Chain A
Amino acid sequence: MAKSALLKSSIAKKYWMALTGLFLCLFLVGHLIGNLQLLYGGENPSLRFNEYALFMTTNPAIKILSYLTYFSILFHAVDGIVLAYQNQKARPVKYAKNRPETNTVWASRNMAVLGTLILVFIVTHMVNFWSRMHFDKNMPLQTVEINAGGMKQLFYLTTDGGYLPKAQVDQGMVVIKDRKYFYDAQANVKIKEGYMDLYKITVEFFKHPRYGLIASILYVIAMAVLGFHLYHGFGSAFQSLGINNPRYNMLIKNFGIAFSIVVPLLFAIIPLYIHFFLKA
Chain B
Amino acid sequence: MNLKLKIWRQKNAREAGKMVDYNISNVSPDMSFLEMLDVLNEELNNKGEDPVAFDHDCREGICGMCSLFINGEAHGPDRGVTTCQLHMRKFKDGDTIYIEPFRAKAFPVIKDLVVDRSSFDRIQQAGGFISVNTSGNTIDANAIPIKKHDADRSFDAATCIGCGACVASCKNASAMLFVSAKVSQFALLPQGKVEAHERVLNMVKKMDEEGFGNCTNTGACEVECPKGISLENIARMNREYLFASVKS
Contact = CB atoms under 8 A, between A and B. Distances in A.
Interface of A: 1-2, 5-6, 9-15, 83, 86-87, 89-100, 102-105, 108-109, 111, 232, 235-236, 239-244, 246
A1 B201 contact: yes
Interface string B98-110: 1010011110010
Secondary structure call for the B interface: mixed
B195 interface: no
A12 B171 CA distance: 19
Interface in B202-248: 204-205, 207-208, 211-220, 223-224, 231-232, 234-242, 244-248
Contacts of B220: 100, 103-104
A91 B71 contact: no
B6 interface: yes
A87 B173 contact: yes
Given A10-B204, A239-B217, A95 B239 contact: no
Contacts of B242: 11, 15, 241-242
Contact of A90 (B72, B73, B173): B173
B71 A11 contact: no
Contacts of A98: 69, 72
A99 B73 contact: yes
Contact of A104 (B171, B173, B212, B240): B171
Contacts of A244: 231-232, 234-236
A133 B244 CA distance: 46
A102 B231 CA distance: 17
Contact of A5 (B98, B103, B241): B241
Nearest to B74: A103
A86 B207 CA distance: 13
Which among B173, B208, B238 has the highest number of chain A CB atoms within 10 Å? B238
A104 B169 CA distance: 10
Contacts of B8: 96
A91 B69 CA distance: 14
A14 B214 contact: yes
Which among A86, A94, A97, A246 has the highest number of chain B CB atoms within 10 Å? A97
Given A103-B223, A236-B217, 9 more contacts: A9-B205, A10-B215, A87-B214, A93-B103, A99-B72, A102-B73, A111-B216, A239-B235, A241-B238
A98 B170 CA distance: 11
A13 B103 CA distance: 24
B165 to A, nearest CB: 11
Contacts of A102: 72-73, 77, 223
A237 to B, nearest CB: 9
Contacts of A96: 6, 8, 19, 98, 100
A126 to B, nearest CB: 27
B172 interface: yes
B174 interface: yes
B231 A239 contact: yes
Q: Which 10 A-B pairs have the closest CB atoms?
A: A99-B72, A90-B213, A244-B235, A242-B239, A87-B172, A103-B223, A242-B238, A97-B98, A5-B245, A90-B173
Contacts of B71: 97, 99
Which among B98, B103, B231 has the highest number of chain A CB atoms within 10 Å? B103
Contacts of B19: 96
A109 B217 CA distance: 9
